[in-house]
Amino acid sequence: MSVPDRNIGGELLKVDNISLSFGAVRAIIDVSFDIREREIRAIIGPNGAGKTSMLNVINGVYHPQEGSITFNGQERAQMKPHEAAEQGIARTFQNVALFRGMTTLDNIMTGRNLKMKSNFLSQALYWGPSRREEMENREFVENIIDFLEIQAIRKTPVGRLPYGLQKRVELGRALAAEPHLLLLDEPMAGMNLEEKEDMCRFILDVNEEFGTTIALIEHDMGVVMDLSDRVVVLDYGRKIADGTPDEVRADQAVIDAYLGVSH
Amino acid sequence: MSDVQQSIARHDTFPKLLIRNAQTRGDRTAYREKIFGIWQAFDWSQVLDNVRALSCGLAALGVKRGDKVAVIGDNRPQLYWVFPAVQALGAIPVPLYQDSVADEMKYVLEHAEVRFAVVENQEQTDKVMSIMEGLPALEGIVYEDERGLRNYSEEFLHSYDAVQEKGRAYDSANAGFFENEIAQGKGEDVSVILYTSGTTGNPKGVVISFDNLRESGELSVGFENLTEKEEVLSYLPMAWIGDHLFSYAQAYTAGYAVNCPESSDTVLTDLRELGPTYYFAPPAVFENMLTNMQIRMEDAGWIKRNLFNTFIDVAKDVGVNILERKPVSIFGRMKYWLGKLFIYGPLLNTLGFSRIRIAYTAGAPMGPDVFRFYRSLGLNLKQLYGQTESCAYVCIQADSDVRPDTVGPPAPGCEVKIDDVSGEVLYRSPGSFVSYYKNEEATAETKTAEGWIHTGDAGIFTDDGHLKIIDRAKDVGKLNNNTLFAPQYLENKLKFFPFIKEVVAHGNARDHVAAFINIDLEAVGNWAERNGLSYTSYTDLANREEVYGLIQSNIESVNQDLAMDSELSGSQIRRFLILHKELDADDGELTRTRKVRRRIIADRYGELIEALYSDKDHIDVEAKVTFEDGRTGVIKADLKIRDCKTFEPMRQAG
């Protein structure tokens, strides 16, 4: 099989000397790394290493006490989540966070929210430009449904779906925002082998077809090593390694962190 | 008229029929496919344009007369177009089962000497590429869906669009090429090679001519009055003769529309949206729908449930007679009309059946209750008997005379006879295949010099000329009094009862028929609960007097049924016992597809079989079982043996 032309570009996101604490608890201590255009970047580490906090810092849910974040050439110290979304950062959650009573289609439609410009009244009347806008957005969503192969559940309330499919719908909603940077928080947690394989394929396809940059947190080492271009390893809030999967795998500090060494 | 036009006007190949359809009904819909949630239609003239571009593109790639081109993928219009495009060039399409693994594909691709493969997507491309090394004849792969394939750089890979693009250029550079190539085709040429799924040994390539398919198509179109207004949903594998006939041969002869579902998971939704007029499904599909319906009715409120039950009872009484235009009292008709208004109509609509004129089922026996249920609702469900070698049709039921236990009289143009010695069904028909590809030995075994084809199935004709398929010919035996003994037929009849899970019938070279029964633990357990019967295990439940009584009544009603059949009345079941353990694939007693392994069972339970043919009314047994974790243990039991009532043979009423 041919090796895909990865075509990885320049720096898209850079975090510099980030530190985050909650009271006396220091969740992230002086961490720096970068994410390049069109790459798949994994953040790994044992439980409580600060992975999800890192993701929350990137999309503006937490505000770090120290350090700065540069996204798309713009440096910022603080940002609100909706600002992050407007700039093209979308994410999925470790615990599925969908509108359970709404259908798959509607859930993914909510991801288009920021793309809808017409006002509330004309949307309610489904008239004029808002009608055209609705149709354009629906077409985009249908493309995602086709892409993720979830046609069969288009009209099913997501609360009735099995977990693996809910995760896929969540990915669909994140994609609906046409993100520049996609943050995936444990996209494969709790899945069986087949669901994991499917999800891996979708992640690779998203990256390849749309050129989306992806940062993901994952526990399954096999998945991380196969999927990602570069890996950053956190342990107790500190960065202990950063490099290609092969480099990281051979790193003594990483081996110690995973096997457990007294601190 | 030029020679080319004259040849095309003969309409004896599918590309010629395509030209005819584009001329006579160019703006009627030929194909529909659901993409992005919306049904997209292609009319006949668009189809001709697309086929023309594809065909010329394939010619530009180097496809020549006599080459084989594989077609692999789910039912998509673009893949259906490969057939006429390839046939126009005088090359031969070879559809493959899309879910076969790479090794299975390799055998067919190698055996058929396939030069090009047109595949649906990345999955199929990867599969074919993984076996390409061993296939020197295979030169190129054309893929339809580009997703995931954009970065593949191999030179032998071509996208469908690019091939069509190339074809359009080739077509304008070589005016008249396409028509000339089509005009060279003749009715007796090979149209397609279909590989049989091959449950025994390697698959065999069944070579079928245009005449075979076209004539079968025309005969059946005439018999069923199919018109260009039909709608079919194509969801069964394209490599299967049934789909090739319904979605290609008949569609081209009658000119009706073929609809492709959005994906294999959405078939039921698509069915409902589309409301086809002509439909085919294996029995299991109908059975599942019925079960789902029953489960959902159990959950419905009592008004709805009672309404449903009342009118379903009405339908049972008069529905079938109304469908077959037999006399029914005015009062019965009125009740049925009300039922149609409140229940049957909405029900059929929910299932997507409200426009169906003809529905077929075939491939396996269908429970008579299920069969009657659908017919009583007014669905014209019929059974069909045929095989790849016959272009699907051998026997077919007429609208006015449909029975659950026969496959009907011979189809128009088919002759059917039963071999006197073996009881095997033989037929001769316009659809009879040409030969097995590169396998003269098998061809000679199957096809006699006079054109009779051995089906391998044993059957009998009922007194009024309906064929009844009873078993595989090699399993059929004789009782000592020379009555036919068809174990599978008896077993299937018994297994239609919900309490009976598995049956093994004995009788070859014996005085009478006797049977081992496995009860269905769930169904019988449920029944026991409702009747206040407590039990500890399968073995305990199976040995209960009450359970024996229950099973005995089932067997006796089968016996009563058999007594109506002059040929089979001698094979009524005289004695039975309920096995102390469930037959299990882990113990080697069943195959993985849950078929009974007669020889192994005869070895292992020889003692029990002897007891069935003795005077004993019980027998002690010890059996070795393998538990799920791999340990083995021994079950001891004292099995009862029961006699069953048998009935005097009688002629079927009417």
Q: Which of A3-7, B296-300, B500-504 has the highest mean pLDDT?
A: B500-504
Q: Is B263 in the A-facing interface, judged by CB distances under 8 Å?
A: yes
pLDDT confidence tier of residue B653, bands split at 50, 70 and 90:
very low
ipTM over 0.85? The verdict is no
pLDDT confidence tier of residue B477, bands split at 50, 70 and 90:
confident
Place of tokens 């007194």: B463
Question: Mean pLDDT across chain A, nearest whole number?
Answer: 87
Q: Are A145 and B35 within 8 A, CB to CB? A: no
Calpha distance B163→B89 (Å, rounded): 15
Q: Please compute the mean of the pLDDT values over residues B323-340 and round it to a whole number.
A: 92
Domain ranges of chain A: 1-88+181-263, 99-178
Could you tell me the two tokens for B481? 């009094």
Q: B632 versus B128: which is more confidently predicted?
A: B128
Calpha distance B334→B171 (Å, rounded): 63
* Fold match between domain B3-274 and domain B481-643: no
Is residue B560 over pLDDT 80?
A: yes
What pLDDT was estimated at residue A3? 40
What are the start-end ranges of the H helices in B344-478? Answer: 345-351, 368-376, 440-446
Calpha distance B642→B545 (Å, rounded): 10
Beta strands B231-233 and B257-260: pairing type?
A: parallel
> Which CATH class name applies to A1-88+181-263?
alpha beta
In this structure, whether the domain defined by B3-274 belongs to CATH 3.40.50.12780 is answered with yes
Of A2, A4, A152, which is closest to B154 when you measure between CB atoms?
A2
CA distance A162 to chain B (A): 15
pLDDT confidence tier of residue B55, bands split at 50, 70 and 90:
very high
Of B92-101, B121-130, B520-529, where does mean pLDDT reach its minimum?
B520-529
Q: Please compute the mean of the pLDDT values over residues B160-170 and round it to a whole number.
A: 96
Question: Mean pLDDT across chain B, nearest whole number?
Answer: 90
Q: Are B263 and A143 within 8 A, CB to CB? A: no
Is residue B381 over pLDDT 60?
A: yes
Domain ranges of chain B: 3-274, 481-643
Is residue B600 over pLDDT 90?
A: no
Q: B265 versus B622: which is more confidently predicted?
A: B265
What are the Cα distances from residue B289, in Å, to A203, B220, B294? 36, 27, 9
Q: Are B153 and A149 within 8 A, CB to CB? A: no
Considering only CA atoms, which of A161, A185, A157, A159 is closest in space to residue A171? A185
pLDDT digits (tens, 9 = 90+) for B231-254: 999 999 999 999 999 999 999 999
What pLDDT was estimated at residue A124? 78
Give the angle B358-B74-B207 at the CA atoms, nearest 5°: 75
Considering only CA atoms, which of B383, B409, B392 is closest in space to residue B215? B392
Q: B528 versus B298: which is more confidently predicted?
A: B528
Q: What is the DSSP string of B230-249?
A: -EEE--S-TTSHHHHIIIII
What pLDDT was estimated at residue B400? 84
CA distance A33 to chain B (A): 29
Measured in residues, chain A has a length of 263
Is residue A1 over pLDDT 80?
A: no
Is residue B593 over pLDDT 70?
A: no
What pLDDT was estimated at residue B105? 92
Of B37, B151, B152, which is closest to A142 when you measure between CB atoms?
B37
What pLDDT was estimated at residue B336? 94
Of B126, B129, B262, which is closest to A151 when you measure between CB atoms?
B262
What pLDDT was estimated at residue B85? 97
Q: Please compute the mean of the pLDDT values over residues B572-583 and round it to a whole number.
A: 91
What pLDDT was estimated at residue B196? 85
Q: Are A205 and B148 within 8 A, CB to CB? A: yes
What pLDDT was estimated at residue A28? 93
Is residue B529 over pLDDT 50?
A: yes
Is residue A75 over pLDDT 90?
A: no
Place of tokens 């009740």: B335
Is residue B654 over pLDDT 50?
A: no
Q: Are A146 and B148 within 8 A, CB to CB? A: no
Task: Please say whether the beta carbons of B263 and B35 come within 8 A.
Answer: no
Q: Are A1 and B126 within 8 A, CB to CB? A: yes
Q: What type of residue sits at position B28?
A: R
Q: Which of A211-225, B131-145, B389-403 has the highest mean pLDDT?
A: B131-145
Topology of the domain covering B481-643: GMP Synthetase; Chain A, domain 3 (3.30.300)
pLDDT digits (tens, 9 = 90+) for A147-186: 999 999 999 999 999 888 999 999 999 999 999 999 999 9
Of A29-43, B48-62, B381-395, where does mean pLDDT reach its minimum?
B381-395
Q: Is B3 in the A-facing interface, judged by CB distances under 8 Å?
A: no
What pLDDT was estimated at residue B149? 86
What pLDDT was estimated at residue A262? 60
Calpha distance B382→B395 (Å, rounded): 11
